[in-house]
Each structure stands twice: as C-alpha cells, then as structure tokens.
Amino acid sequence: MTKEEHINYWLGSAEHDLETVESLLSAEKYDWSLFIGHLVLEKSLKALFVACNDNKMPPKSHNLVKLSELSGLKLDEEKKVFLDEVNDFNLEIRYPEYKNEFYKSCTKEYAEEYIVKIKEMYVWLKSRIK
C-alpha cells in the first residue's frame, strides 16, 4: 500500500465512522455515538501518524494523547485535555464497571456538545496531514 493509500484508508474509515456517529446520535444512542466519536479521532491520528512516519504502521493503541505525541503533533493544553476526555469514552463503554455510570451521564446535550468538538478536532487533524 502506498503512503497515500494508507492515509486514505484511515481517513476513509474515520469519515464512515463520523456518519455512524450522526446515526447513533439521531437514534438517541448517546453513549455509543461518543464511543464511535473516539474512533473518528483515533483513526484520524493514525492517518497523521502514517503521514509523519514514512508510511509505518501506526501503533495498536487507542490512547489519543499518545497517538498525537507519536505523530509529532504539538497540542496546546486545551487540546490535550480534550483528547484525554475523549479517551474516557473508549474505556467507559467497554468495561461494565464504568458503563452504567457513563450511560447515566450521556444526555443528549452532553453528547451533542462533545460531538461538535470531535468534529472540529477531526477537521483540524485532517488539515495537519500533508
């Protein structure tokens, strides 16, 4: 796979997941929409990693802050905190001890607020890929 194909693979998958986020939000599956929102950013960061690391395979990590660091991305504190918060969506939906509490906090307003920010971060990350 060429570098461009590899990057397009990750970005295409992220775009598909973004559509899924919207569907889940419309279906009032707020917890799952946020989980998939995490995947949107994870895949975008993996595309950035490929772009910045000579087409190497991205690490098998779900940690958005770690992926951003491995991609050489310079984040301000606000973006780091945001990615760290979105990391929680990945953990909280997967593990029963977190899932019930997370589900309770996932109101429509909460999910919509984060999804707007996820979309903004997605656009910003795509703009960093050369």
| pLDDT for the residue 83 | 98
CATH class of the structural domain 3-127:
mainly alpha
| pTM score of the predicted model | 0.94
Counted residue by residue, the chain has a size of 130
- pLDDT category at 128 given cuts 50, 70, 90 is very high
Q: Per residue in 1-26, pLDDT tens? A: 999 999 999 999 999 999 999 999 99
**What digits encode the pLDDT tens for the residues 36-95?**
999 999 999 999 999 999 889 999 999 999 999 999 999 999 999 999 999 999 876 666
pLDDT category at 99 given cuts 50, 70, 90 is: confident
Write down the pLDDT at residue 116.
98
Is 48:8 a contact under the CB 8 Å cutoff?
no
